[in-house]
Amino acid sequence: MKMIAPVLPLNEEFRIEALKSLGILDTESENEFDEITALAAYLCDTESALISLVDSDREWFKSSYGFSASEIPRKESFCAHAILEPDTPLIVKDARLDERFCNNPLTIEGTVTFYASIPLIDKDGFALGTLCVIDRQPKELSDKQLEALKSLAHQVVILFELNKKNKDLEQVEDKLRKRNESLKEFARVISHDLKMPLANVITTSDLLKLKLANDLDQETSQYFDYIKQSSFTMSDYINDVLDHYESDSLAQNKPESFKLNYLLKEIAELLSIKPDCTIHFPESNPALNCNKSALKQIFFNLIGNSIKYNDKEQIIIDIEYTEDTIFYYFKITDNGMGIPDDKIDSIFELFTTANGTDRSGNKGNGIGLSTVKKLVENLGGCIKVKSTLRVQTTFDFSIKKQQNL
C-alpha cells in the first residue's frame, strides 16, 4: 500500500499568500514560541511538540521540542492533512493503524506513532499550520489536555499576528526614517541656498538706502527698513530650521565636563543681554558631565524665548538646578507673557506658537521649542511646562547622566 499524500485545500493559493504575508518562514527560533511547544509537550505528556507551518512543498517548524528536523517534505506531513479540516482537531492514536499514515516514512521509522494537532487559523480563516504533539508510543488525550492544546494554539496565532504587526511597524518606521532623512537633506540644502540671497538683500538694501539717503522721504526709508527686517526674520527662520533638523546629530556628541554657570554666561553673551534683563544663575555653579553642545542649544532657545516673549519693563529669569544618581534636573522661570491654557498642550509641536507676537512685535516660527523637546528626549530626559498668563512661565526638564565614552 502506498502512502496517502495530502491533497491541496481549495483555498490553497490564498492560504499560501496569507502564510507568506506573516514574514515568519525561515526566521530564527524565539523563546515565546519555544515556551509554548515545551508546555504543550508537558501538558499532553508527549515526547515532542511542534509549531508547524505548511508551505507550498514543505512543512517548516517555527518551534520544535524534542524533534530534530527543521522541516520535512509536505507529502510526508501529518499537518498537511490536518489543515484540510481546520475546524476539527486531528488525533491519530496509532499511525500504524491509520491508512493515511501507516506507510508514511515517519511512521515506518518509528518517529511518529501518536499525533494530535490543532490547526492554526488566522483572522481570515486560513489554516496556516498546526500546533501538534507527537510520541513514539500510542496515546490518547483527555478532554482537559485537548482544551489546553487548543488554548495554546490560540496563543500561537496571537503571537503570529503580533509579530506581523511589529514587522509592519518596523517597515513604516523605516519608511518614515528615510523620508525624514530626505526632508532633513532638503531643508539643509534649501536653507543654505537661501542664506546667500538673503545676505545679498540685506547688504543691497543698506547700500541703496545709503546711496539714496538725500533723495529718500521718511516713508520710503521705512520701506527699506521693512525689507531689512523681513530678511533678518527669514534668516532667523532658516537658522531655526537648520537647528531643528541637525538636533539629532547634535545629540550624538560625546559628554564632557564643565561648570553650568560658565555655560549660561556664555549663552548670555551670545544673546547680548541688555540691562533690562536679569538672569539669576544657580548659586552652587555645579559641575556637569554631559553633552555640553546639546544642553547649550536647549538653554539658548529657552532663555531666548524668555527674553523675546516678555512684556515687562524688567525681564527676570531664574535658573535652578538639582540632580540625583540618574538625572540632572533644570528649571527656568521667567516673568513674561505666559502661555494661554489652550496652547499648553501643543507648545512643543513643530510650527506651533503660543503668542501672536514677541516683545519686538515679530511673530515666532514655532520651531525652537520643538527643537528643545527633541534634544531633551534624545538625551534621555523629558520636559514639561507650567504657565500663568501675563505672570510667568516655568520649563522643567531633565537629561540623563552620561559616562565618558
Ordered per-residue pLDDT tens for the chain, 405 residues: 677 888 999 899 999 999 999 999 999 999 999 999 999 999 999 999 999 999 999 999 999 999 989 999 999 999 999 999 999 999 999 999 999 999 999 999 999 999 999 999 999 899 999 999 999 999 999 999 999 999 999 999 999 999 888 888 888 888 877 777 766 666 666 666 666 677 777 777 777 777 777 777 777 777 777 776 666 666 665 666 666 656 666 667 788 899 999 999 988 887 888 889 999 999 999 999 998 888 988 998 899 899 988 989 999 999 999 999 999 999 999 999 998 888 888 888 876 776 667 776 666 666 778 889 988 998 999 999 999 998 999 999 999 987 544
- For residues 108, 109, 110, 111, the Cα torsion angle rounded to the nearest 10 degrees is -120
Q: Which residue has the cell 521509522?
A: 109
- Distance separating alpha carbons of residues 281 and 319, to the nearest angstrom: 5
Phi, psi (degrees; rounded to nearest 5) at 256: -145, 160
Name residue 266's amino acid.
E
- Which residues, at least 6 apart from 263, have a Cβ–Cβ distance to it below 8 Å? 292, 295, 296, 299
Give the containing element (helix H, strand E) for 68: none
C-beta atoms surrounding 102 within 10 Å: 15
Q: What pLDDT is stored for residue 168 in this prediction?
A: 85
Q: How far is CA 271 from CA 145, 207, 217, 264, 303, in A?
A: 74, 27, 34, 11, 9
Q: What pLDDT is stored for residue 211 in this prediction?
A: 74
Q: What pLDDT is stored for residue 205 in this prediction?
A: 76
Q: How far is CA 253 from CA 177, 291, 397, 402, in A?
A: 20, 6, 19, 11
Name residue 298's amino acid.
I
Residue 316, class by beta-carbon neighbours within 10 Å (0-12 exposed, 13-18 middle, 19+ buried)? middle
Q: How far is CA 87 from CA 52, 121, 125, 360, in A?
A: 17, 9, 10, 74
- Distance separating alpha carbons of residues 308 and 357, to the nearest angstrom: 9
Q: What pLDDT is stored for residue 248 in this prediction?
A: 64
**Domains defined for the chain, CATH in brackets:** 12-170 (3.30.450.40), 246-400 (3.30.565.10)
- C-alpha grid cell for residue 267? 549663552
- Distance separating alpha carbons of residues 200 and 94, to the nearest angstrom: 90
Q: What pLDDT is stored for residue 172 in this prediction?
A: 83
Query: SS3 of 240, please?
Result: helix
